[in-house]
């Protein structure tokens, strides 16, 4: 078993072939961290890694002659108020007003496999040989509360997952004010912090900054993981590149407000913690109640950022995503949003769908505007029944007509929201999150339903259940277009208001669970004004996420490149849209638009009826192309090659798991006259194998070593002559022999 407890030294060694993670039980019973990194050969004790230099002003955790000083000790889950002045992982208010706690080791258990932490989403195993888990029970005897830290290590992947659970046995209630999922201290600060930040339309841009003393963090206090910061950080060694060097990834499986924080202390140690954001959070635990934190997925790589991302991709694609669609190739879809917005009727929709069918597209998706009186975004959210003026045969009739055409039918919903101008709001004005007598801040002219209330989730489920069961629906796009303000639930007691943000997300997960269990073959795509809730929590329920409302091919290069840092290609919704582009007015070629969108769950979002004959023929060829390569693209091993945040160009490659085929793409963001020489050096191929490489209509033969080390010269003059700005080249690569 790759988790060993060394009784004498009181150390846990969690390891697999790639990495080690070593925990010690400190003299005062709390947990310390001795090491996290590349695999160490096991030994009875690594106690020499406990640095305990005596320093002025240090508060001792046990009486002299011991020197244990928590401020200078690398810890696993520090508590508030016991001599460590860095940020703590847990703050608990007690009846007497004290927030001091001390959780000491009580017992532990090592077991094969990995247990569920429902109702929260989490990574899983299919059989118990895939992972080993360690459950360490810590105990605070004054408040009679157990704190259970669980670690699971995957045997074949450099992944450790962590979460914390509080079980309160005491007679007097306690209030959790901060309950992080995980915390870890590193012995130095020689790292760059990478995070994925942005805003609507430019989500998950890669940001890199050198660590400095003090706090650096990413967070959301918006009630959703957000477009502003993704619940992910990585610490990379300063010289780490895409393909070399150490990096530690931290990804939170959660869709609500979160904190990912890095603190460097004045002696250059680095503390990373991640979990639910403590702002607006407080959770009362009465006797026999418990609280479960979300899971943090920690990935270690000593082969650079690509290897870290590939681990996340594999884990999330195969052991986070679940159900019917997990291993299936995703259908090519046609969405009507940018084609019609809300201005359509059944005839217009059928015409667009018919063109989709002609192009070979497999799924037609009807977006916003089909329900209630929804002709504008100020009304009808919550009224989940068809607008019969637009769709006289309802969704039931339309979905059948689309199926008769030979396509599957998909539908847009936004079930967490309501407009004040709706039957639902008129019947239940108290169902929104808002504080009595205070202004109710609208956003996109809508309000957030209070999903912390079971009856609200229930009512929405009933409406959607009726709709889905009466129609032929194969896909659902689940949108969410605003963040939470005035977070207050009308039915919760004053002392429970601090639970509402988290309970709301649990309500969202509950509705997802009910719909995905009942309609297990429906493909769900989550969406939030584009990619404002692109997080692992959502992927547990919906295998794909609409990546961004910005559909411009050039903007998408950065967005998809950044998204690939954590999320598998199969999860990234990517569509070809019309030009001039609706977000930035840019004109790019149909081929570059497809060459970018191919590296995702591919589709179209425009009125194909407005294309010329030649363009339509191109679309047909693109659809055929993606059908041929989608298995490889969606399930292959993805490498980022040229970084569009740093270079004028961008490139990436996906190699099939068996190494037989690959698809690579090179993109010129902006043309450059008389440019210097440029080689496209690929990655992930076998040095000694020979490959046939097809680009445009050229077919050439190269060894893997040539493709990766010499690189293919890019003829920029030709690129400029043919297309200029935004030109792109696709390379189809096929292994023809294993060696010369
Ligand atoms: C935001 C989504 O990201 C868009 O794709 C579209 O579905 C609109 N909402 C509809 O209101």
**Per-position DSSP letters for 471-520, written without gaps between them:** S---EEEE-------S---TTS-GGGGGGHHHHHHHHHHHHHHHHHHHTT
Bridge partners (DSSP) of residue 108 are 136
Pairing of strands 661-668, 649-655: antiparallel
Whether 530 lines ligand 1, by a CB cut-off of 6 Å, is yes
278 lines ligand 1 (CB under 6 A): no
Find out whether the beta carbon of 652 lies less than 6 Å from any atom of ligand 1: no
Nearest atom in ligand 1 to the alpha carbon of residue 530 is 3
Residue 574: φ, ψ to 5°:
-145, 125
Does 11 contact ligand 1 (Cβ within 6 A)? no
> Which DSSP string corresponds to 428-442?
-GGGB---TTS----
Phi and psi based region of residue 172 (left: phi greater than 0; alpha: psi -120 to 50; beta: remaining):
beta
A 10 A CB-CB count for 248 gives 23
pLDDT band at 739 (very low <50, low <70, confident <90, very high): low
Cα angle, residue 576 at apex, residues 570 and 580 outer, rounded to 5°:
150
Residue 721 pLDDT level (bands cut at 50, 70, 90): confident
19-25 β-sheet, strand order = 3-6, 11-15, 19-25, 31-38
Confidence check: pLDDT of 708 > 80 = yes
Cross-strand partners of 301: 247
Please give the full DSSP string across 302-345, using - where no structure is assigned: SBHHHHHHHHHHHHHHHHTS-STTTTSPPPPEEE-HHHHTT---
Residue 596 Cα to ligand 1 midpoint, Å, equals 20
Convert 205-228 to b/e letters by CB count within 10 Å (16 or more is b): bbbeeebeeeebbbbbbbbbbbbb
689-702 pLDDT, tens digit per residue, is 999 999 988 999 99
Range 541-570 average pLDDT: 98
- Coil, strand or helix: which one is 660? coil
Task: Give the mean model confidence (pLDDT) for residues 132-140.
Answer: 98
Q: How far is the CA of 360 from the centre of ligand 1 (A)?
A: 24
Distances (CA, A) of 410 to 82, 337, 373, 488, 506: 55, 12, 20, 34, 25
pLDDT for position 54: 78
Predicted local confidence at residue 260, as pLDDT: 98
According to DSSP, the residues that pair with 215 across neighbouring strands are 263
pLDDT above 90 as % of the chain: 94
The residue nearest atom 10 of ligand 1, judged by CA position, is 368
The CA-atom distances, in angstroms, between 553 and each of 148, 550, 598, 611, 622 are 47, 9, 11, 18, 15
Q: How far is the CA of 530 from the centre of ligand 1 (A)?
A: 7
State the closest ligand 1 atom to the C-alpha of 412, by its place in the atom list counted from 1.
7
- At residue 190, the pLDDT reads 98
- Chain centre to alpha carbon of residue 121: 12
Candidate of 416, 549, 574 to mutate for ligand 1, largest count of ligand atoms within 8 Å of Cβ? 549
Ligand 1 mean position, distance from CA 414 (Å): 9
Pick the atom of ligand 1 nearest to 548's CA. 3
> Is 47 strand, coil or helix?
helix
| Distance from Cα 529 to the centre of ligand 1, integer Å | 6
pLDDT of 67 above 90: no
- Rounded Cα gap, residues 340 and 348, in angstroms: 9
* Per-residue pLDDT at 740: 52
Whole-number average pLDDT of the chain:
97
- 715 DSSP 8-state letter: -
Query: Which among 94, 86, 258, 98 has a CA at the least distance from the CA of 179?
Result: 258
- pLDDT tier at 62, thresholds 50, 70, 90: confident
Flag whether pLDDT at 579 surpasses 70: yes
Any ligand 1 atom below 6 A from CB of 200:
no
Residue 165 neighbours by CB under 8 Å, 6+ apart:
117, 147, 148, 150, 290, 291, 292, 293
Among left, alpha and beta (phi > 0; psi -120 to 50; other), residue 280 is left
Rounded-to-integer distance, Cα 439 and Cα 654, Å = 51
CB 592 within 8 A of CB 726: yes
Confidence of residue 58 (pLDDT cuts 50, 70, 90): confident
The ligand 1 atom at the shortest distance from the C-alpha of residue 605 is 5
CB 371 less than 6 A from any atom of ligand 1 = no
DSSP 665-698: EEEESS--TTPPP-EE---S--TT-EEEEEETTE
The ligand 1 atom at the shortest distance from the C-alpha of residue 377 is 11
Both tokens of 222, joined, read: 């918006």
pTM of the predicted structure, to 2 decimals? 0.98
Angle made by CA atoms 71, 74, 76, in degrees to the nearest 5: 110
To test the pocket of ligand 1, the residue of 481, 548, 573, 605 to mutate (highest count of ligand atoms within 8 Å of its CB) is 481
Q: What pLDDT, on the 0 to 100 scale, is given for residue 65?
A: 77
Mean pLDDT of 171-178: 98
Q: Is the CB of 549 under 6 A from ligand 1?
A: yes
Residue 306 predicted with pLDDT over 70: yes
From 342, 375, 531, 546, the mutation candidate for ligand 1 (largest count of ligand atoms within 8 A of CB) is: 546
| Ligand 1 atom at minimal distance to the Cα of residue 527 | 3
Ligand 1 close to Cβ of residue 304 (< 6 A): no
> In this model, does residue 463 exceed pLDDT 60?
yes
DSSP-based three-state secondary structure for 398: helix
* CA 133–ligand 1 middle distance (angstroms): 41
Instruction: Name the residue with the closest Cα to ligand 1, atom 11.
Output: 368
Query: In this predicted model, what pLDDT tens digit does every residue of 481-517 receive, in sequence order?
Result: 999 999 999 999 999 999 999 999 999 999 999 999 9
Nearest Cα neighbor of 726 from 636, 562, 567, 595 is: 595
Mean pLDDT of 297-309: 98
Over the stretch 594-640, which tens digit does the pLDDT of each residue have?
999 999 999 999 999 999 999 999 999 999 999 999 999 999 999 99
Give the tens place of pLDDT for each residue, 566-575.
Answer: 999 999 999 9
pLDDT band at 1 (very low <50, low <70, confident <90, very high): low
> Does any ligand 1 atom lie closer than 6 A to the CB of residue 546?
yes
Question: What is the 582 CA–ligand 1 centroid distance (Å)?
Answer: 13
Cα separation of 124 and 322, whole Å? 9
Distance CA 74, CA 239 (A): 24
Rounded distance from Cα 339 to ligand 1 centre (Å): 12
Q: Does the beta carbon of 203 sit less than 6 angstroms from any atom of ligand 1?
A: no
Please state the rounded mean pLDDT for residues 78-103.
96
Indicate the pairing of strand 523-526 with strand 544-546. Answer: parallel
Active-site residues, by number, are 479, 549
Cβ neighbours of residue 455 under 8 Å, at least 6 residues apart? Answer: none
C-alpha closest to that of 659 among 577, 735, 573: 735
- 412 CA distance to ligand 1 middle (Å): 8
Ligand 1 binding pocket includes 367 (Cβ within 6 Å) = yes
The predicted model gives 706-724 an average pLDDT of 91
Going by C-beta distance under 8 Å and a sequence separation of 6 or more, which residues neighbour residue 152? 114, 131, 132, 133, 134, 160, 161
Is the CB of residue 325 below 6 angstroms from any atom belonging to ligand 1? no
Distance 654 CA to ligand 1 centre (A): 29
In short, whether 479's Cβ falls inside 6 Å of ligand 1 is yes
């Amino acid at each position: 078993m790759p988790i060993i407890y060394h009784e004498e030294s009181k150390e846990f060694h969690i390891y697999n072939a790639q990495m080690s993670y070593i925990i010690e039980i400190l003299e005062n019973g709390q947990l310390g961290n001795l090491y996290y990194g590349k695999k160490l050969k096991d030994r009875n004790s690594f106690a020499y890694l406990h640095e305990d230099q005596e320093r002025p002003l240090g508060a001792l955790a046990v009486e002299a002659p011991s020197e244990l000083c928590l401020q200078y000790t690398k810890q696993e889950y520090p508590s508030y108020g016991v001599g460590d002045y860095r940020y703590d992982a847990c703050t608990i208010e007690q009846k007497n007003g004290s927030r001091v706690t001390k959780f000491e080791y009580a017992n532990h258990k090592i077991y094969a496999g990995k247990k569920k932490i429902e109702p929260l989403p989490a990574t899983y195993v299919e059989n118990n040989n895939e992972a080993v888990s360690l459950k360490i029970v810590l105990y605070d005897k004054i408040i009679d509360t157990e704190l259970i830290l669980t670690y699971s290590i995957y045997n074949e992947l450099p992944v450790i997952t962590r979460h914390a659970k509080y079980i309160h046995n005491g007679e007097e209630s306690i209030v959790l004010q901060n309950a992080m999922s995980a915390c870890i201290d590193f012995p130095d600060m020689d790292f760059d912090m990478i995070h994925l930040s942005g805003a609507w339309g430019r989500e998950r841009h890669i940001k890199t900054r050198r660590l400095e003393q003090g706090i650096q963090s990413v967070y959301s206090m918006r009630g959703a993981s957000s477009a502003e910061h993704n619940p992910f950080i990585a610490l990379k060694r300063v010289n780490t590149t895409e393909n070399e060097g150490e990096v530690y990834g931290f990804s939170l499986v959660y869709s609500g407000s979160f904190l990912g924080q890095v603190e460097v202390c004045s002696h250059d140690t680095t503390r990373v913690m991640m979990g639910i954001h403590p702002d607006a959070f407080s959770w009362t635990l009465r006797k026999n109640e418990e609280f479960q934190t979300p899971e943090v997925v920690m990935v270690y790589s000593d082969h650079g950022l690509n290897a870290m991302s590939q681990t996340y991709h594999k884990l999330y694609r195969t052991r986070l995503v679940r159900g019917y669609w997990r291993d299936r190739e995703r259908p090519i879809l046609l969405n009507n949003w940018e084609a019609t917005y809300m201005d359509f009727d059944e005839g217009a929709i059928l015409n667009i769908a018919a063109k989709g069918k002609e192009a070979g597209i497999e799924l037609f998706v009807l977006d916003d505007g089909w329900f209630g009186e929804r002709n504008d975004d100020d009304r009808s959210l919550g009224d989940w029944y068809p607008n019969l003026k637009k769709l006289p045969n309802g969704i039931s009739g339309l979905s059948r007509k689309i199926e008769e055409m030979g396509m599957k039918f998909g539908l847009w919903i936004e079930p967490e929201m309501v407009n004040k101008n709706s039957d639902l709001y008129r019947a239940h004005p108290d169902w929104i999150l808002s504080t009595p007598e205070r202004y109710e801040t609208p956003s996109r002219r809508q309000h957030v339903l209070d999903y912390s209330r079971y009856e609200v989730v229930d009512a929405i489920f009933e409406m959607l259940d009726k709709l889905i069961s009466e129609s032929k629906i194969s896909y659902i796009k689940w949108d969410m277009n605003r963040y939470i303000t005035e977070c207050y639930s009308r039915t919760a007691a004053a002392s429970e208001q601090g639970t509402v943000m988290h309970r709301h997300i649990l309500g969202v997960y509950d509705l997802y669970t009910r719909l995905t269990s009942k309609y297990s073959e429906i493909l769900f795509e989550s969406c939030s004004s584009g990619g404002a809730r692109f997080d692992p929590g959502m992927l547990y329920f919906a295998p794909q996420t609409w990546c961004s409302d910005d559909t411009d091919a050039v903007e998408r290069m950065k967005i998809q490149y950044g998204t690939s840092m954590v999320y598998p290609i199969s999860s990234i919704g990517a569509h070809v849209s019309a030009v001039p582009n609706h977000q930035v007015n840019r004109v790019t070629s149909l081929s570059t638009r497809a060459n970018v969108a191919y590296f995702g769950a591919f589709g179209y979002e425009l009125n194909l009826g407005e294309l010329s004959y030649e363009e339509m023929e191109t679309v047909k060829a693109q659809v055929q192309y993606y059908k041929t390569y989608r298995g490889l693209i969606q399930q292959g091993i993805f490498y980022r090659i040229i970084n569009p945040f740093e270079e004028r160009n961008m490139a990436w490659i996906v190699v099939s798991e068996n190494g037989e085929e690959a698809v690579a793409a090179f993109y010129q963001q902006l043309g450059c006259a008389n440019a210097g020489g440029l080689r496209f050096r690929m990655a992930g191929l076998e040095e000694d194998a020979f490959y046939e490489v097809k680009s445009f209509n050229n077919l050439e033969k190269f060894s893997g070593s040539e493709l990766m080390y010499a690189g293919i010269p890019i003829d920029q003059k030709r690129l400029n002559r043919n297309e200029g700005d935004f030109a792109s080249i696709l390379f189809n690569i096929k292994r023809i022999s294993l060696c010369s």
